[in-house]
Chains A and B, each alone.
Chain A
Amino acid sequence: SYELTQPLSVSVALGQTARITCGGNNIGRKNVHWNQQKPGQAPILVIYRDTDRPSGIPERFSGSNSGNTATLTISRAQAGDEADYYCQVWDSSTVVFGGGTKLTVL
């Protein structure tokens, strides 16, 4: 079965750039989506199809995907960006989530 690997945690200084990676075999050939989840809340979609932002998501959120790694980039990190981030793909007819990355804004 297909697996997605994310770092358990990433820390970023306030106002700096955070990068969260999602590794998978030839993931560059798949559409990668990113979900943000704050404590006690349901997830929300922040990036879909590698690079696209849903309406209402700040331009500070961007994505890329190539080879074996997809990356979610959060520019000018704010305290409100602290959350768990999950990458997601479809493999055959099933959905695969990465294990999640806890982003801490220092």
Chain B
Amino acid sequence: EVQLVESGGALVKPGGSLRLSCAASGFTFTDAWMNWVRQAPGKGLEWVGRIKSEGDGGTIDYAAPVKGRSTISRDDSKNTVYLQLNSLKTEDTAVYYCTTASLRITMIVGAFDIWGQGTVVTVSS
């Protein structure tokens, strides 16, 4: 079964840090470009960042609101992608989803056909 499972969400104080994990199964993780997308309470989807496959250079890109405060990494031996969040702000409160393309065609066109169930990050004093 194709699956993404996020973990690591928690209640954190402003200024704190957190590392989220996303474990993948059921598809060729080493070929996948892995993305993080978040959704603040009652709001829409917001892309956080992406890490390419090592075969495609492993390039990482971030959205402006998290650039400089976040680090995406991957461990292909564990089929896992990580999102390190630092200097957390109350506006970082959201459900964080891991998402990717599992099919060759969706990978080529940049569509996300697999989503995890999300992990909740709450930033509050």
Contacts and interface: CB of A to CB of B under 8 A. Distances in A.
Interface stretch (B8-16, B45-53, B80-88): B45-53
B47 A99 contact: no
Interface of A: 1, 31, 33, 35, 37, 42-45, 48-49, 52, 54, 84, 86, 88-90, 93-100
Chain A contact surface mostly:
strand
A71 to B, nearest CB: 17
Contacts, number: 66
A43 B50 contact: no
Contacts of B111: 31, 33, 45, 48-49, 88
B113 A48 contact: yes
Contacts of A37: 45
A80 B37 CA distance: 25
A96 B47 contact: yes
B106 interface: yes
A43 B113 contact: no
Contacts of B105: 48-49, 52
**Which of B37, B45, B50, B61 lies at the interface centre, i.e. has the most chain A CB atoms within 10 A of its CB?**
B45
Number of chain B interface residues as a range: 20 to 34
Contact of A35 (B45, B59, B61): B45
B41 to A, nearest CB: 12
A95 B113 contact: no
Interface string B99-120: 1000001100111110111100
B97 interface: yes
A97 B109 contact: no
B35 interface: yes
A90 B116 CA distance: 20
A30 B109 CA distance: 9
Contact of B110 (A42, A86, A90, A98): A90
